Amino acid sequence: MEFQTWLSFAGASFILSLAPGPDNIFVLMQSVIYGRSAGLKIVSGLCTGLLVHTLLVAVGVSALIRASETAFFCLKAAGALYLVYLAVMAWKAPSTPMAEEKGEVKDAMSFSKWWARGFIMNLTNPKVIIFFLAFFPQFLFPGENTEVQILMMGLTFIAATVIVFGAIACFAEFVREKISSARVQQVINRTGAVIFMGLAVSLVFSV
């Protein structure tokens, strides 16, 4: 892959990472509710999911899943159910003033549990498969190893995701620090629940 082509891909990856979607909305809402540390752990899980998607695209598995109506429907159903689960959890999240619970909430779950939330969120999102299959081929350079190029693009996209989503988690922490009202906390929780439920419905009917 030529450097200019890679540079164009990197720029496009940063722009696309900023576009509103299930993953960055998830990082934003969870970071506002549970803190920057939780958000960054979720980002690590999301990026692991992106790595798996990259490998699946490289070996051709993603194309097979997309071509199979049954496999693709099962993936959509799993993703929608997980979003519904997240909606329920957000609705039931504590509405204690954040300033009072900041330390204990951050440590309420282990790294592996936060990581798993991000990993499952990304892996069960069929839109990632469609996106990779549609986006990556535009930057492939004829005559070079396709698998290596796909791996390079996947790692570049992951790097862009880490930077952008990490910034989102830090921004959410700043917002969190300014919130001291239990009522505002409850509104944020309920808003997150509605957003996740909306994403679940969108996932079922738009792909």
- Whether the pLDDT of residue 205 is over 60: the answer is yes
pLDDT, residue 198, reads: 83
pLDDT, residue 99, reads: 44
Q: How far apart are CA 27 and CA 173, in angstroms?
A: 11
**Residue 163, C-beta contacts closer than 8 angstroms, at least 6 positions apart:** 14, 17
**Residues 143-194: pLDDT tens digits?**
678 888 889 999 999 999 999 999 999 998 887 776 656 676 677 777 777 8
Mean residue pLDDT of the chain comes to: 80
Q: Where are the domains of the chain?
A: 39-206
Of 51 and 183, the structure prediction assigns the larger pLDDT to: 51
pTM above 0.85, yes or no: no
| CA distance to 6, 55, 61, 174, per residue, from 10 (Å) | 6, 18, 24, 28
Q: What confidence tier does 62 reach under pLDDT thresholds 50, 70, 90?
A: low
What percent of the chain stands above pLDDT 70? 84
pLDDT, residue 52, reads: 92
Of 123 and 67, the structure prediction assigns the larger pLDDT to: 123
Q: How many CB atoms lie within 10 A of CB 19?
A: 8
